[in-house]
Chains A and B, each alone.
Chain A
Amino acid sequence: MSTDLETIQHVTESEYKYGFATDIDTEAVPPGLNEDVVRLISAKKGEPEWLLQWRLKAFRHWQKMEEPTWHNVHYPPIDYQSIIYFAAPKKKAKSLDEVDPELLEMYEKLGIPLNEREALAGVAVDAVLDSMSVATTYKDKLAEKGIIFCSFSEAVREHPELVRQYLGSVVPHTDNYFAALNSAVFSDGSFVFIPKGVRCPMELSTYFRINAQNTGQFERTLIVAEDGAYVSYLEGCTAPMRDENQLHAAVVELVAMERATIKYSTVQNWYPGDKEGRGGIYNFVTKRGICAGRASKISWTQVETGSAITWKYPSCILKGDDSIGEFYSVAVTKNYQQADTGTKMIHIGKNTRSTIVSKGISAGFGQNTYRGQVKVAKGADNARNYSQCDSMLIGDRCGAHTFPYLEVSNPTAQLEHEASTSKIGEDQIFYCNQRGISTEDAVSMIVNGFCKEVFRELPMEFAVEAQKLLAVSLEGSVG
Chain B
Amino acid sequence: MSQQPILEIRDLRASVEGKEILKGINLTVNPGEVHAIMGPNGSGKSTLAQVLAGHKAYEVTGGEALLHGNDLLEMDPEERAREGVFLAFQYPVELPGVNSTYFLKAAVNAVRKHRGEEELDAADFLALVRQKMKVLDVGEALLKRSVNEGFSGGEKKRNEIFQMAVLEPTLAILDETDSGLDIDALRVVADGVNKLRGSENGMVLVTHYQRLLEYIVPDVVHVLYNGRIIKSGGKELALELEEHGYDWVKEHAEEVGVGQ
**Interface of A toward B, CB cutoff 8 Å:** 422, 425-428, 430-439, 441, 445-446, 448-452
Contacts and interface: CB of A to CB of B under 8 A. Distances in A.
Nearest to B108: A436
Nearest to A450: B97
B204 to A, nearest CB: 15
Given A435-B81, A435-B110, A437-B106, 13 more contacts: A432-B95, A433-B76, A434-B77, A434-B80, A435-B103, A436-B114, A436-B167, A437-B78, A441-B106, A446-B97, A449-B96, A449-B97, A449-B98
B111 A436 contact: yes
Nearest to B77: A433
Nearest to B89: A431
Given A433-B76, A435-B110, A436-B111, A452 B97 contact: yes
Nearest to B106: A437
A393 B80 CA distance: 28
Of B56, B77, B146, most buried by chain A (CB within 10 Å of CB) is B77
A175 to B, nearest CB: 36
A439 B92 CA distance: 17
A431 B78 CA distance: 10
Contacts of B76: 433
Nearest first, the 9 A-B pairs at minimum CB distance are A449-B97, A436-B110, A435-B107, A433-B77, A436-B81, A449-B98, A433-B78, A436-B82, A431-B93
B102 interface: yes
Contact of A448 (B86, B89, B97): B97
10 contacts: A430-B55, A433-B77, A434-B80, A434-B86, A435-B163, A436-B78, A436-B167, A437-B103, A441-B110, A448-B98
A445 B102 contact: yes
B54 interface: yes
Contacts of B87: 434
Contacts of B89: 431, 434
Contact of A445 (B55, B57, B98, B163): B98
Contacts of B98: 445-446, 448-449
B54 A433 contact: yes
Interface residues of B, number: 32
Of B96, B97, B114, most buried by chain A (CB within 10 Å of CB) is B97
Contacts of B104: 435
Interface string B95-121: 111110011101100110010000000
B136 interface: no
Contact of B95 (A426, A431, A434): A431
B114 A445 contact: no
B53 interface: yes
A435 B103 CA distance: 9
Given A433-B78, A434-B81, A436-B111, A428 B53 contact: no
Given A436-B114, A445-B102, A425 B93 contact: yes
Interface in B13-67: 53-57
B53 A434 contact: yes
Contacts of A435: 81, 103-104, 106-107, 110, 163, 167
A452 B54 CA distance: 30
B95 A438 contact: no
A13 to B, nearest CB: 53
A438 B107 CA distance: 9
B96 to A, nearest CB: 6
A446 B54 CA distance: 21
A430 B102 contact: no
A434 B93 CA distance: 12
Nearest to A430: B55
A436 B96 contact: no
A451 B54 CA distance: 29
A232 B97 CA distance: 26
B222 to A, nearest CB: 23
Of A425, A426, A431, A448, most buried by chain B (CB within 10 Å of CB) is A431
A93 B151 CA distance: 55
Contacts of B95: 428, 431-432, 445-446, 449
Nearest to A438: B78
A467 to B, nearest CB: 11
A427 to B, nearest CB: 5
Contacts of B99: 449
B129 to A, nearest CB: 14
Given A425-B93, A436-B82, A450-B97, A430 B77 contact: yes
